[in-house]
Structure 1
Amino acid sequence: VDQALQAKVLEGSEPITCRPADNIAPEMHILEQEFDKVVAEKDITLATNKIDDLLTYALFPQVGVSFLENRNNPDFFEPVPASDNCEKPDSEEGTYTVSFKGTSYTVEVSAGGDVTSMKASSDTTPVPAVPAEKEIVADAPASGGEAIGAPLSGNIWKVMVSPNQKVAKGDVLVILEAMKMETEIRAARGGVVTGISVKEGDSVTVGQTLLTLA
């Protein structure tokens, strides 16, 4: 190991010579205490092996609780579709004439519903269809201030601020749970929280307003 490079990277810190995870304080007992509180509040009946339910809660804090509350209630879940009820969708294949801003276009559509070509009535050269891009538009702010939108879809795990609270740049505003990971939404600047549009447990989509910051 290049000692000079190591010293520059560590900036005075000691190098880790053991398994990095060994330096993390145990958290299982804290999680279990939190889980026991949730179980008592919601009167959840646990499985024979408590550890199974505890791990479900650890991996999916929001969705997992809903599952544990309703696992013996089949009406809570979507029914399994019966194979004899599955119908083949109608074919959308064909050629259509579409008018747009005074110009007529001939559009060819495949059986799957995709536009395969398009040309103006006065043009003989087909124009390949270009899939339209979905535009993500953030919701309007709930009150005065800058809207802070969700960077990805998921569930609101924790709301770390309250209305009229002053925050500094880098403060955690909301913790979003998505894909088994917790994502911290931090303030890009200092300001005052003028409105909160979500609560813990809510599902949000990309761009949806979480709160407003003045």
Structure 2
Amino acid sequence: MKKILITATASLLILAGCGQKKVASKPGEEEVKITATLPILTEKVDENAVQKKRLEFPTAEDGTTTVQTLTYQGDQYLTFEIEVISPLTEELKKSVEEVGVAETNTRLKASLDEDENYKAATAVRGFTSNIEVLEDQRLKNLSTYNFQDLDLEGIRNNTYFQGSGIIEMSEVKPSKFLEVRQSNGAIVTDAP
């Protein structure tokens, strides 16, 4: 028993003597202290903060521009806006020439109110759409999806939304969605 106690004590003394060697600083050398940060906590705070990202796509050959704004918190989508500004169709150009922008917008709204597909789409809970002719004679289509109230089943069953990608979007995390959009040519920045 004494041998074990003596051996253990000797081992502790040897190990204690093998600690880091203290070196005196040379004149002119600064001692650098390393401070630890907690990036995990910082990331958690960022994950819980509401994020708003602007996705701007390259202008299409016909002059159409698409800007999307995504608001999310962690892995939960809050809102998604799609703004598409495109050249006017010949029919709308002719209408603007004949009656002006204001009257063309009135007629466009009346026409949309009679369109069964458009009416069914705007009846879907959580979706809004505004289509108007701008003063610079371009067409602006602003669609907003409020994911807090969005009827995904209504979107799935409505032909107006075919090809919109909203259902697929809802099945992936916002970070993955942004990554895919970037790979498709979007420039992603923080939105104001």
Which protein is richer in helix relative to its size? 2
Using structure 1 for the length normalisation, give the TM-score.
0.18
Using CA pairs under 8 Å that are at least 6 residues apart, name the structure with larger relative contact order, 1 or 2.
2
Structure label with greater radius of gyration: 2
Using structure 2 for the length normalisation, give the TM-score.
0.20
